[in-house]
A and B are shown apart, each in its own frame.
Chain A
Amino acid sequence: MSLAVSAIGQGLLWAVLGVGLFLTFRILDFADMTVEGTFPLGAATAVAAISNGMNPLLATLLAFVIGALAGLITGLLYTKGHIPILLAGILVMTACYSVNLRIMGRANVSLLGKSTLFKNHLLAALPQYFDSVVLGTIVMVVITTIVIYFLQTELGQGFIATGDNQTMARSLGINTDNMKIMGLMVSNGLIAFGGALVAQNNGYADVNMGIGIIVIALASIIIGEVAFGDLTLNQRLVAVTLGSILYRFVLLLVLKLGFSANDLNLISAIILALCMMLPVFKNVLNFKHILKRGLDTND
Protein backbone atom coordinates (compact mmCIF):
# COMPACT_ATOMS: atom_id res chain seq x y z
CA MET A 1 0.00 0.00 0.00
CA SER A 2 2.62 2.53 1.02
CA LEU A 3 4.59 1.65 -2.11
CA ALA A 4 1.57 2.47 -4.26
CA VAL A 5 1.05 5.77 -2.43
CA SER A 6 4.71 6.57 -2.91
CA ALA A 7 4.45 5.80 -6.65
CA ILE A 8 1.42 8.09 -7.01
CA GLY A 9 3.20 10.87 -5.10
CA GLN A 10 6.35 10.55 -7.20
CA GLY A 11 4.27 10.37 -10.37
CA LEU A 12 2.49 13.62 -9.47
CA LEU A 13 5.71 15.46 -8.62
CA TRP A 14 7.43 14.30 -11.81
CA ALA A 15 4.36 15.07 -13.93
CA VAL A 16 5.40 18.74 -13.91
CA LEU A 17 8.21 17.72 -16.25
CA GLY A 18 5.83 15.96 -18.61
CA VAL A 19 3.60 19.04 -18.92
CA GLY A 20 6.65 21.25 -19.39
CA LEU A 21 8.04 19.06 -22.14
CA PHE A 22 4.60 18.71 -23.75
CA LEU A 23 4.74 22.40 -24.68
CA THR A 24 7.84 21.93 -26.80
CA PHE A 25 7.74 18.26 -27.81
CA ARG A 26 4.06 18.00 -28.72
CA ILE A 27 2.99 21.57 -29.43
CA LEU A 28 6.05 23.23 -30.94
CA ASP A 29 7.03 19.84 -32.33
CA PHE A 30 10.73 19.61 -31.48
CA ALA A 31 12.82 17.87 -28.83
CA ASP A 32 14.40 20.35 -26.43
CA MET A 33 17.52 18.92 -24.77
CA THR A 34 17.86 21.96 -22.50
CA VAL A 35 15.64 20.21 -19.97
CA GLU A 36 18.49 17.88 -18.99
CA GLY A 37 20.27 21.00 -17.71
CA THR A 38 17.31 22.96 -16.38
CA PHE A 39 16.05 20.15 -14.15
CA PRO A 40 19.21 20.13 -11.98
CA LEU A 41 19.41 23.92 -12.43
CA GLY A 42 16.04 24.23 -10.73
CA ALA A 43 17.12 21.81 -8.02
CA ALA A 44 20.42 23.63 -7.45
CA THR A 45 18.73 27.04 -7.37
CA ALA A 46 16.11 25.96 -4.86
CA VAL A 47 18.56 24.10 -2.61
CA ALA A 48 21.07 26.96 -2.63
CA ALA A 49 18.36 29.53 -1.96
CA ILE A 50 16.86 27.49 0.89
CA SER A 51 20.30 26.89 2.37
CA ASN A 52 20.75 30.64 2.42
CA GLY A 53 17.54 31.05 4.36
CA MET A 54 15.02 31.77 1.62
CA ASN A 55 11.42 30.74 2.07
CA PRO A 56 10.96 27.32 0.28
CA LEU A 57 7.99 28.55 -1.76
CA LEU A 58 9.93 31.59 -2.96
CA ALA A 59 12.94 29.38 -3.67
CA THR A 60 10.77 27.07 -5.80
CA LEU A 61 9.35 30.03 -7.74
CA LEU A 62 12.87 31.39 -8.17
CA ALA A 63 13.81 28.02 -9.72
CA PHE A 64 11.03 28.58 -12.28
CA VAL A 65 12.43 31.99 -13.19
CA ILE A 66 16.02 30.74 -13.52
CA GLY A 67 14.83 27.78 -15.62
CA ALA A 68 12.90 30.17 -17.86
CA LEU A 69 16.08 32.22 -18.34
CA ALA A 70 17.93 29.11 -19.52
CA GLY A 71 15.02 28.47 -21.90
CA LEU A 72 15.34 32.05 -23.13
CA ILE A 73 18.99 31.43 -24.02
CA THR A 74 18.13 28.26 -25.94
CA GLY A 75 15.33 30.16 -27.69
CA LEU A 76 17.62 33.00 -28.72
CA LEU A 77 20.32 30.61 -29.98
CA TYR A 78 17.67 28.77 -31.98
CA THR A 79 15.62 31.62 -33.44
CA LYS A 80 18.06 34.52 -33.68
CA GLY A 81 21.33 32.56 -33.85
CA HIS A 82 19.95 30.00 -36.31
CA ILE A 83 21.52 27.12 -34.38
CA PRO A 84 19.55 23.88 -34.88
CA ILE A 85 17.28 23.32 -31.87
CA LEU A 86 18.88 20.02 -30.90
CA LEU A 87 22.34 21.58 -30.72
CA ALA A 88 21.09 24.78 -29.09
CA GLY A 89 19.57 22.63 -26.35
CA ILE A 90 22.71 20.59 -25.90
CA LEU A 91 24.83 23.77 -25.66
CA VAL A 92 22.69 25.24 -22.89
CA MET A 93 22.42 21.86 -21.16
CA THR A 94 26.21 21.55 -21.14
CA ALA A 95 26.65 25.11 -19.90
CA CYS A 96 24.11 24.44 -17.16
CA TYR A 97 26.36 21.73 -15.71
CA SER A 98 29.04 24.31 -14.86
CA VAL A 99 26.46 26.84 -13.71
CA ASN A 100 24.93 24.25 -11.39
CA LEU A 101 28.32 23.51 -9.82
CA ARG A 102 28.83 27.25 -9.34
CA ILE A 103 25.44 27.63 -7.70
CA MET A 104 25.89 24.69 -5.34
CA GLY A 105 29.62 25.06 -4.80
CA ARG A 106 30.02 21.29 -4.93
CA ALA A 107 28.44 18.29 -6.65
CA ASN A 108 25.90 17.41 -3.97
CA VAL A 109 24.17 19.61 -1.43
CA SER A 110 21.88 18.24 1.27
CA LEU A 111 18.84 19.98 2.71
CA LEU A 112 19.22 18.13 6.00
CA GLY A 113 17.75 20.20 8.82
CA LYS A 114 16.55 22.88 6.40
CA SER A 115 12.98 23.91 5.81
CA THR A 116 11.31 22.62 2.61
CA LEU A 117 7.85 22.77 1.06
CA PHE A 118 7.25 19.30 2.49
CA LYS A 119 7.98 20.42 6.04
CA ASN A 120 4.95 22.66 6.01
CA HIS A 121 2.84 22.01 9.15
CA LEU A 122 -0.14 20.68 7.22
CA LEU A 123 1.88 18.37 4.99
CA ALA A 124 4.12 17.13 7.80
CA ALA A 125 1.05 15.99 9.72
CA LEU A 126 0.06 13.57 6.94
CA PRO A 127 1.04 9.87 6.92
CA GLN A 128 4.22 8.93 5.10
CA TYR A 129 4.24 9.65 1.32
CA PHE A 130 0.89 11.45 1.45
CA ASP A 131 2.73 14.77 1.58
CA SER A 132 3.91 14.37 -2.01
CA VAL A 133 0.49 13.16 -3.11
CA VAL A 134 -1.20 16.26 -1.67
CA LEU A 135 1.41 18.75 -2.82
CA GLY A 136 1.73 17.04 -6.22
CA THR A 137 -2.03 17.15 -6.74
CA ILE A 138 -2.23 20.84 -5.87
CA VAL A 139 0.69 21.67 -8.15
CA MET A 140 -0.62 19.64 -11.08
CA VAL A 141 -4.16 20.98 -10.82
CA VAL A 142 -2.87 24.56 -10.77
CA ILE A 143 -0.34 24.08 -13.59
CA THR A 144 -2.63 22.04 -15.83
CA THR A 145 -5.44 24.57 -15.39
CA ILE A 146 -3.18 27.48 -16.27
CA VAL A 147 -1.76 25.73 -19.33
CA ILE A 148 -5.21 24.68 -20.56
CA TYR A 149 -6.52 28.22 -20.09
CA PHE A 150 -3.49 29.66 -21.88
CA LEU A 151 -3.88 27.33 -24.87
CA GLN A 152 -7.47 28.55 -25.33
CA THR A 153 -6.48 32.22 -25.46
CA GLU A 154 -5.77 34.16 -28.63
CA LEU A 155 -2.06 34.02 -27.84
CA GLY A 156 -2.21 30.30 -27.00
CA GLN A 157 -3.88 29.56 -30.32
CA GLY A 158 -1.07 31.43 -32.07
CA PHE A 159 1.39 29.32 -30.08
CA ILE A 160 -0.28 26.09 -31.22
CA ALA A 161 -0.42 27.33 -34.82
CA THR A 162 3.32 28.05 -34.74
CA GLY A 163 4.10 24.42 -34.01
CA ASP A 164 1.47 23.18 -36.43
CA ASN A 165 2.30 25.23 -39.53
CA GLN A 166 4.92 27.90 -39.29
CA THR A 167 4.39 29.29 -42.79
CA MET A 168 0.71 29.77 -42.14
CA ALA A 169 1.32 31.25 -38.70
CA ARG A 170 3.67 33.83 -40.16
CA SER A 171 1.28 34.66 -42.99
CA LEU A 172 -1.34 35.46 -40.34
CA GLY A 173 1.01 37.84 -38.56
CA ILE A 174 2.04 35.52 -35.72
CA ASN A 175 5.62 36.19 -34.64
CA THR A 176 6.79 32.58 -34.68
CA ASP A 177 10.23 33.38 -33.21
CA ASN A 178 8.61 34.94 -30.16
CA MET A 179 6.23 32.00 -29.82
CA LYS A 180 9.12 29.53 -29.82
CA ILE A 181 11.08 31.58 -27.29
CA MET A 182 8.02 31.86 -25.07
CA GLY A 183 7.40 28.11 -25.31
CA LEU A 184 10.99 27.29 -24.42
CA MET A 185 10.91 29.70 -21.48
CA VAL A 186 7.71 28.33 -19.97
CA SER A 187 8.72 24.74 -20.67
CA ASN A 188 12.13 25.09 -19.02
CA GLY A 189 10.65 27.13 -16.20
CA LEU A 190 8.29 24.25 -15.44
CA ILE A 191 11.08 21.68 -15.69
CA ALA A 192 13.22 23.68 -13.25
CA PHE A 193 10.18 24.04 -10.99
CA GLY A 194 9.88 20.24 -11.11
CA GLY A 195 13.58 19.96 -10.27
CA ALA A 196 13.06 22.18 -7.23
CA LEU A 197 10.14 20.02 -6.05
CA VAL A 198 12.02 16.74 -6.54
CA ALA A 199 15.13 18.08 -4.78
CA GLN A 200 13.07 19.15 -1.75
CA ASN A 201 11.30 15.80 -1.75
CA ASN A 202 14.60 13.91 -1.94
CA GLY A 203 16.28 16.22 0.55
CA TYR A 204 19.24 17.04 -1.68
CA ALA A 205 20.33 18.33 -5.07
CA ASP A 206 22.92 16.52 -7.15
CA VAL A 207 24.68 17.90 -10.19
CA ASN A 208 24.06 14.64 -12.07
CA MET A 209 20.34 14.42 -11.37
CA GLY A 210 19.51 15.69 -14.87
CA ILE A 211 20.72 12.64 -16.71
CA GLY A 212 17.87 10.91 -18.53
CA ILE A 213 15.31 13.57 -17.58
CA ILE A 214 14.09 14.02 -21.15
CA VAL A 215 13.40 10.29 -21.34
CA ILE A 216 11.40 10.32 -18.12
CA ALA A 217 9.40 13.36 -19.18
CA LEU A 218 8.75 11.87 -22.62
CA ALA A 219 7.70 8.61 -21.00
CA SER A 220 4.87 10.36 -19.11
CA ILE A 221 3.67 11.99 -22.31
CA ILE A 222 3.85 8.84 -24.44
CA ILE A 223 2.50 6.43 -21.83
CA GLY A 224 -0.41 8.79 -21.23
CA GLU A 225 -1.17 8.85 -24.93
CA VAL A 226 -0.85 5.10 -25.37
CA ALA A 227 -3.01 4.36 -22.34
CA PHE A 228 -5.83 6.76 -23.12
CA GLY A 229 -5.82 6.89 -26.91
CA ASP A 230 -7.84 9.40 -28.85
CA LEU A 231 -8.09 12.58 -26.79
CA THR A 232 -8.55 16.29 -27.26
CA LEU A 233 -5.61 18.56 -26.55
CA ASN A 234 -6.90 19.42 -23.06
CA GLN A 235 -7.50 15.79 -22.20
CA ARG A 236 -4.02 14.93 -23.40
CA LEU A 237 -2.56 17.41 -20.93
CA VAL A 238 -4.38 15.67 -18.10
CA ALA A 239 -3.27 12.31 -19.51
CA VAL A 240 0.35 13.42 -19.06
CA THR A 241 -0.11 13.39 -15.27
CA LEU A 242 -1.78 10.00 -15.37
CA GLY A 243 0.97 8.74 -17.68
CA SER A 244 3.56 9.96 -15.21
CA ILE A 245 1.87 8.00 -12.39
CA LEU A 246 1.58 4.88 -14.57
CA TYR A 247 5.25 5.19 -15.40
CA ARG A 248 6.10 5.17 -11.66
CA PHE A 249 4.11 1.96 -11.28
CA VAL A 250 6.02 0.40 -14.16
CA LEU A 251 9.29 1.35 -12.44
CA LEU A 252 7.99 -0.09 -9.17
CA LEU A 253 7.20 -3.32 -10.95
CA VAL A 254 10.64 -3.42 -12.51
CA LEU A 255 12.27 -2.94 -9.11
CA LYS A 256 10.07 -5.71 -7.71
CA LEU A 257 11.34 -7.99 -10.47
CA GLY A 258 14.78 -7.66 -8.96
CA PHE A 259 16.41 -4.93 -11.03
CA SER A 260 18.37 -2.35 -9.09
CA ALA A 261 17.84 1.42 -9.08
CA ASN A 262 21.00 1.69 -11.17
CA ASP A 263 19.20 -0.08 -14.03
CA LEU A 264 16.37 2.44 -14.14
CA ASN A 265 17.76 4.66 -16.90
CA LEU A 266 18.31 1.64 -19.13
CA ILE A 267 14.82 0.38 -18.43
CA SER A 268 13.26 3.83 -18.92
CA ALA A 269 14.97 4.12 -22.29
CA ILE A 270 13.75 0.66 -23.34
CA ILE A 271 10.18 1.39 -22.25
CA LEU A 272 10.15 4.68 -24.13
CA ALA A 273 11.73 3.18 -27.26
CA LEU A 274 9.15 0.39 -27.28
CA CYS A 275 6.28 2.83 -26.78
CA MET A 276 7.52 5.09 -29.57
CA MET A 277 7.93 2.15 -31.95
CA LEU A 278 4.40 0.94 -31.33
CA PRO A 279 3.05 2.51 -34.55
CA VAL A 280 5.63 0.49 -36.51
CA PHE A 281 4.65 -2.72 -34.73
CA LYS A 282 1.06 -1.81 -35.38
CA ASN A 283 1.72 -1.75 -39.12
CA VAL A 284 3.81 -4.90 -39.07
CA LEU A 285 1.51 -6.91 -36.83
CA ASN A 286 -1.67 -5.16 -37.93
CA PHE A 287 -2.93 -4.53 -34.40
CA LYS A 288 -6.27 -2.85 -34.32
CA HIS A 289 -7.47 -0.35 -31.76
CA ILE A 290 -4.50 -0.94 -29.49
CA LEU A 291 -2.87 2.27 -30.48
CA LYS A 292 -4.46 5.49 -31.22
CA ARG A 293 -3.86 8.86 -32.72
CA GLY A 294 -1.48 10.16 -30.07
CA LEU A 295 1.34 8.03 -31.36
CA ASP A 296 1.16 8.72 -35.05
CA THR A 297 4.34 10.32 -36.27
CA ASN A 298 2.49 13.18 -37.90
CA ASP A 299 0.66 14.05 -34.73
Chain B
Amino acid sequence: MTKPLLELKDVVLKVNRNTPEEITILNKLNLTINAGDFITVLGSNGAGKSTLFNAIGGDLSIDSGQILLNGKDIAHDSVEKRTRFLARVFQDPKLGTAPRMTVAENLLLAERRGQRRGLMPRGLNRHLDHYKELTATMHNGLDDRLTTATGNLSGGQRQALSFLMATLKRPEILLLDEHTAALDPRTGQDLMRLTNERVSQDKLTCLMITHHMEDALTYGNRLIVLHHGKVTFDVAGADKAALTTEKLYSFFAEIE
Protein backbone atom coordinates (compact mmCIF):
# COMPACT_ATOMS: atom_id res chain seq x y z
CA MET B 1 0.00 0.00 0.00
CA THR B 2 1.34 3.45 -0.86
CA LYS B 3 1.91 5.70 2.10
CA PRO B 4 0.79 9.33 2.26
CA LEU B 5 3.59 11.71 1.34
CA LEU B 6 1.80 14.99 1.86
CA GLU B 7 -1.41 15.49 3.75
CA LEU B 8 -3.49 18.65 3.95
CA LYS B 9 -5.92 18.56 6.83
CA ASP B 10 -8.75 21.08 7.21
CA VAL B 11 -6.62 23.77 5.63
CA VAL B 12 -8.19 27.23 5.78
CA LEU B 13 -6.57 30.14 4.01
CA LYS B 14 -8.02 33.63 3.91
CA VAL B 15 -6.83 36.74 2.12
CA ASN B 16 -7.34 40.36 3.22
CA ARG B 17 -7.56 39.09 6.78
CA ASN B 18 -9.49 41.25 9.24
CA THR B 19 -10.74 43.64 6.57
CA PRO B 20 -14.24 43.95 5.08
CA GLU B 21 -12.83 42.31 1.91
CA GLU B 22 -11.82 39.12 3.73
CA ILE B 23 -12.24 36.12 1.44
CA THR B 24 -11.81 32.46 2.34
CA ILE B 25 -9.89 30.89 -0.54
CA LEU B 26 -9.22 27.45 0.92
CA ASN B 27 -12.13 26.29 3.03
CA LYS B 28 -11.28 23.29 5.22
CA LEU B 29 -9.53 21.62 2.33
CA ASN B 30 -8.50 17.98 2.78
CA LEU B 31 -6.15 16.22 0.40
CA THR B 32 -3.87 13.24 0.79
CA ILE B 33 -1.11 12.85 -1.76
CA ASN B 34 0.54 9.44 -1.97
CA ALA B 35 4.11 8.89 -3.07
CA GLY B 36 4.16 8.40 -6.83
CA ASP B 37 0.84 10.15 -7.47
CA PHE B 38 0.63 12.22 -10.65
CA ILE B 39 -2.42 14.34 -9.93
CA THR B 40 -4.01 16.69 -12.43
CA VAL B 41 -5.85 19.57 -10.79
CA LEU B 42 -8.90 21.13 -12.42
CA GLY B 43 -11.12 23.94 -11.25
CA SER B 44 -12.62 27.20 -12.45
CA ASN B 45 -10.89 30.54 -11.89
CA GLY B 46 -10.89 31.45 -8.23
CA ALA B 47 -11.43 27.87 -7.11
CA GLY B 48 -8.17 28.02 -5.16
CA LYS B 49 -5.81 25.97 -7.36
CA SER B 50 -2.90 28.43 -7.34
CA THR B 51 -3.58 29.26 -3.70
CA LEU B 52 -3.32 25.56 -2.89
CA PHE B 53 0.14 25.54 -4.51
CA ASN B 54 1.15 28.70 -2.65
CA ALA B 55 0.01 27.15 0.62
CA ILE B 56 2.07 24.03 -0.04
CA GLY B 57 5.04 26.12 -1.17
CA GLY B 58 4.82 28.50 1.78
CA ASP B 59 4.28 31.73 -0.18
CA LEU B 60 0.97 32.13 1.66
CA SER B 61 0.54 31.19 5.30
CA ILE B 62 -2.51 29.20 6.27
CA ASP B 63 -5.01 30.35 8.89
CA SER B 64 -5.74 26.92 10.34
CA GLY B 65 -5.28 23.25 9.61
CA GLN B 66 -2.19 21.17 9.03
CA ILE B 67 0.17 20.44 6.17
CA LEU B 68 2.01 17.21 6.91
CA LEU B 69 5.04 15.98 4.98
CA ASN B 70 5.71 12.35 5.89
CA GLY B 71 3.68 13.00 9.02
CA LYS B 72 5.58 16.12 10.07
CA ASP B 73 3.79 19.49 10.16
CA ILE B 74 5.53 21.92 7.81
CA ALA B 75 2.84 24.62 7.81
CA HIS B 76 5.16 27.11 9.49
CA ASP B 77 8.35 26.39 7.56
CA SER B 78 9.71 29.16 5.34
CA VAL B 79 9.61 29.07 1.54
CA GLU B 80 13.36 28.47 1.47
CA LYS B 81 13.16 25.52 3.85
CA ARG B 82 10.37 23.87 1.87
CA THR B 83 12.45 23.93 -1.30
CA ARG B 84 14.38 21.00 0.15
CA PHE B 85 11.53 18.70 -0.86
CA LEU B 86 9.57 20.89 -3.24
CA ALA B 87 10.20 22.11 -6.78
CA ARG B 88 7.88 24.29 -8.85
CA VAL B 89 7.35 25.36 -12.42
CA PHE B 90 5.36 28.55 -12.86
CA GLN B 91 2.97 29.46 -15.64
CA ASP B 92 5.04 32.47 -16.73
CA PRO B 93 8.28 31.34 -18.41
CA LYS B 94 9.93 34.54 -17.10
CA LEU B 95 9.42 33.50 -13.46
CA GLY B 96 11.34 30.24 -13.62
CA THR B 97 14.74 31.35 -14.93
CA ALA B 98 17.29 34.10 -14.28
CA PRO B 99 17.39 36.14 -17.53
CA ARG B 100 20.96 37.45 -17.31
CA MET B 101 22.48 34.13 -16.34
CA THR B 102 23.25 31.49 -18.93
CA VAL B 103 21.33 28.24 -19.39
CA ALA B 104 24.17 26.29 -17.74
CA GLU B 105 24.37 28.75 -14.82
CA ASN B 106 20.63 28.41 -14.26
CA LEU B 107 20.91 24.63 -14.19
CA LEU B 108 23.80 24.89 -11.75
CA LEU B 109 21.70 27.06 -9.44
CA ALA B 110 18.97 24.42 -9.51
CA GLU B 111 21.49 21.71 -8.68
CA ARG B 112 21.69 23.06 -5.13
CA ARG B 113 17.99 23.64 -4.60
CA GLY B 114 17.26 23.76 -0.89
CA GLN B 115 20.89 23.20 0.07
CA ARG B 116 23.39 25.50 1.75
CA ARG B 117 25.43 27.63 -0.63
CA GLY B 118 28.93 28.34 0.56
CA LEU B 119 32.11 30.00 -0.59
CA MET B 120 33.26 27.05 -2.67
CA PRO B 121 33.85 27.74 -6.38
CA ARG B 122 30.73 26.88 -8.33
CA GLY B 123 32.44 24.26 -10.55
CA LEU B 124 30.41 24.94 -13.68
CA ASN B 125 32.75 23.20 -16.13
CA ARG B 126 32.57 19.75 -14.58
CA HIS B 127 28.78 19.77 -15.07
CA LEU B 128 28.72 20.93 -18.69
CA ASP B 129 28.71 17.47 -20.32
CA HIS B 130 25.86 16.36 -18.13
CA TYR B 131 23.91 19.53 -18.93
CA LYS B 132 24.50 19.03 -22.63
CA GLU B 133 22.95 15.55 -22.45
CA LEU B 134 20.15 16.70 -20.25
CA THR B 135 19.11 19.65 -22.41
CA ALA B 136 19.34 17.49 -25.53
CA THR B 137 16.43 15.42 -24.17
CA MET B 138 14.21 18.47 -24.70
CA HIS B 139 14.74 18.33 -28.49
CA ASN B 140 14.32 22.08 -28.87
CA GLY B 141 17.86 23.30 -29.47
CA LEU B 142 18.46 24.13 -25.81
CA ASP B 143 21.64 22.02 -25.82
CA ASP B 144 23.23 24.40 -28.35
CA ARG B 145 22.52 27.40 -26.15
CA LEU B 146 24.10 26.42 -22.83
CA THR B 147 26.15 29.62 -22.76
CA THR B 148 23.28 31.88 -23.88
CA ALA B 149 21.66 34.21 -21.37
CA THR B 150 18.18 32.77 -20.77
CA GLY B 151 16.63 36.18 -21.48
CA ASN B 152 17.49 35.53 -25.13
CA LEU B 153 15.70 32.18 -25.34
CA SER B 154 12.22 31.59 -26.72
CA GLY B 155 9.36 31.12 -24.26
CA GLY B 156 9.25 27.40 -25.05
CA GLN B 157 12.96 26.96 -24.43
CA ARG B 158 12.76 28.94 -21.20
CA GLN B 159 9.89 26.86 -19.94
CA ALA B 160 11.61 23.61 -20.91
CA LEU B 161 14.63 24.88 -18.95
CA SER B 162 12.42 25.73 -15.95
CA PHE B 163 11.08 22.20 -16.04
CA LEU B 164 14.57 20.70 -16.24
CA MET B 165 15.67 22.89 -13.34
CA ALA B 166 12.73 21.72 -11.23
CA THR B 167 13.54 18.05 -11.83
CA LEU B 168 17.36 18.22 -11.94
CA LYS B 169 17.64 17.50 -8.23
CA ARG B 170 14.84 15.03 -7.63
CA PRO B 171 12.07 16.77 -5.69
CA GLU B 172 9.84 14.80 -3.35
CA ILE B 173 6.96 16.85 -4.72
CA LEU B 174 6.77 18.66 -8.03
CA LEU B 175 4.19 21.42 -8.51
CA LEU B 176 3.36 22.40 -12.08
CA ASP B 177 1.16 25.48 -12.28
CA GLU B 178 -0.23 25.50 -15.84
CA HIS B 179 3.34 25.28 -17.04
CA THR B 180 2.38 24.86 -20.70
CA ALA B 181 -0.38 27.48 -20.80
CA ALA B 182 1.77 30.39 -21.99
CA LEU B 183 3.22 28.42 -24.90
CA ASP B 184 1.88 27.95 -28.42
CA PRO B 185 -0.17 24.72 -28.76
CA ARG B 186 2.57 22.67 -30.42
CA THR B 187 5.36 23.71 -28.06
CA GLY B 188 2.97 23.25 -25.16
CA GLN B 189 2.12 19.69 -26.23
CA ASP B 190 5.81 18.87 -26.69
CA LEU B 191 6.59 20.02 -23.17
CA MET B 192 3.54 18.17 -21.84
CA ARG B 193 4.77 14.94 -23.40
CA LEU B 194 8.26 15.43 -22.02
CA THR B 195 6.80 16.22 -18.62
CA ASN B 196 4.86 12.97 -18.65
CA GLU B 197 7.93 10.99 -19.70
CA ARG B 198 10.09 12.48 -16.98
CA VAL B 199 7.46 12.13 -14.24
CA SER B 200 6.82 8.48 -15.01
CA GLN B 201 10.49 7.64 -15.57
CA ASP B 202 11.64 9.17 -12.30
CA LYS B 203 8.43 8.12 -10.50
CA LEU B 204 7.95 11.70 -9.31
CA THR B 205 5.08 12.76 -7.12
CA CYS B 206 3.48 15.58 -9.03
CA LEU B 207 0.54 17.96 -8.93
CA MET B 208 -0.31 19.68 -12.19
CA ILE B 209 -2.82 22.48 -12.57
CA THR B 210 -4.36 22.65 -16.01
CA HIS B 211 -7.33 24.15 -17.80
CA HIS B 212 -7.00 21.57 -20.54
CA MET B 213 -9.57 18.84 -19.88
CA GLU B 214 -7.88 16.53 -22.40
CA ASP B 215 -4.52 16.91 -20.67
CA ALA B 216 -6.13 16.35 -17.30
CA LEU B 217 -7.64 13.10 -18.59
CA THR B 218 -4.65 11.92 -20.61
CA TYR B 219 -1.94 12.42 -18.04
CA GLY B 220 -1.56 11.26 -14.49
CA ASN B 221 -3.10 8.51 -12.40
CA ARG B 222 -5.43 10.73 -10.44
CA LEU B 223 -7.61 13.76 -11.09
CA ILE B 224 -9.05 16.21 -8.59
CA VAL B 225 -11.41 19.14 -9.01
CA LEU B 226 -11.30 22.13 -6.70
CA HIS B 227 -14.43 24.17 -6.09
CA HIS B 228 -14.91 26.95 -3.57
CA GLY B 229 -11.73 25.97 -1.78
CA LYS B 230 -12.52 22.29 -1.35
CA VAL B 231 -11.69 19.12 -3.24
CA THR B 232 -15.09 18.23 -4.67
CA PHE B 233 -14.04 15.43 -6.99
CA ASP B 234 -11.22 12.93 -6.64
CA VAL B 235 -10.78 9.92 -8.91
CA ALA B 236 -7.81 7.64 -9.41
CA GLY B 237 -6.71 4.58 -11.31
CA ALA B 238 -9.35 2.75 -13.35
CA ASP B 239 -12.09 5.23 -12.40
CA LYS B 240 -9.99 8.03 -13.83
CA ALA B 241 -9.21 6.04 -16.94
CA ALA B 242 -12.93 5.57 -17.51
CA LEU B 243 -13.60 9.29 -17.23
CA THR B 244 -14.47 11.24 -20.40
CA THR B 245 -14.62 14.94 -21.23
CA GLU B 246 -18.42 14.69 -21.45
CA LYS B 247 -18.67 13.33 -17.92
CA LEU B 248 -16.32 16.04 -16.68
CA TYR B 249 -18.30 18.79 -18.42
CA SER B 250 -21.56 17.57 -16.95
CA PHE B 251 -19.91 17.43 -13.54
CA PHE B 252 -18.76 21.03 -13.93
CA ALA B 253 -22.25 22.08 -15.07
CA GLU B 254 -23.62 20.49 -11.89
CA ILE B 255 -21.37 22.27 -9.42
CA GLU B 256 -21.53 25.71 -11.00
Contacts and interface: CB of A to CB of B under 8 A. Distances in A.
User: Do A and B come together as binding partners?
Assistant: yes
Interface of A: 149-150, 152-158, 160-161, 164-165, 167-175, 298-299
B114 A173 contact: yes
B183 interface: no
Given A152-B121, A170-B79, A171-B88, 14 more contacts: A152-B122, A153-B118, A154-B112, A154-B120, A155-B118, A158-B109, A161-B98, A164-B99, A168-B98, A171-B87, A171-B90, A173-B80, A173-B83, A173-B84
Contacts of B121: 149, 152-154
B212 interface: no
B83 A171 contact: yes
A140 to B, nearest CB: 22
Nearest to A158: B117
Interface of B: 57, 79-81, 83-84, 87-88, 90, 94-101, 105, 108-110, 112-115, 117-122, 151, 165
Nearest to A157: B122
B77 to A, nearest CB: 11
A225 to B, nearest CB: 14
Contacts of A157: 101, 105, 108-109, 117, 122
The 9 closest A-B pairs by CB, nearest first: A173-B83, A164-B98, A173-B114, A154-B117, A165-B98, A155-B117, A172-B113, A158-B117, A161-B98
A172 B165 CA distance: 9
Nearest to B117: A154
A299 B108 contact: no
Contact of B119 (A155, A161, A175): A155
Contacts of A150: 119
Contacts of B80: 170, 173-175
8 contacts: A152-B121, A154-B118, A164-B100, A168-B98, A171-B88, A171-B90, A172-B113, A174-B117
B42 to A, nearest CB: 24
Contact of A299 (B96, B100, B112): B100
A164 B106 CA distance: 11
B109 A172 contact: yes
Nearest to A153: B119
B95 A154 contact: no
Contacts of A165: 94-95, 97-99
A178 to B, nearest CB: 9
B117 A164 contact: no
A171 B101 CA distance: 16
Contacts of B115: 173
Given A153-B118, A154-B122, A172 B97 contact: no
A156 to B, nearest CB: 8
Contacts of B100: 160, 164, 299
Contacts of A175: 80
A156 B114 CA distance: 16
A86 to B, nearest CB: 22
A172 B90 CA distance: 13
Contact of A160 (B79, B90, B98): B98
B96 A168 contact: yes
Most buried by B among A155, A156, A173, A299: A173
Contacts of B114: 172-173
A152 B119 CA distance: 9
Contacts of A299: 100
Nearest to A176: B80
Contacts of A168: 95-98
A179 B111 CA distance: 18
B151 A298 contact: yes
B112 to A, nearest CB: 6
Most buried by B among A152, A156, A158, A170: A170
Contact of B101 (A153, A161, A167): A161
Contacts of B81: 173
Nearest to B115: A173
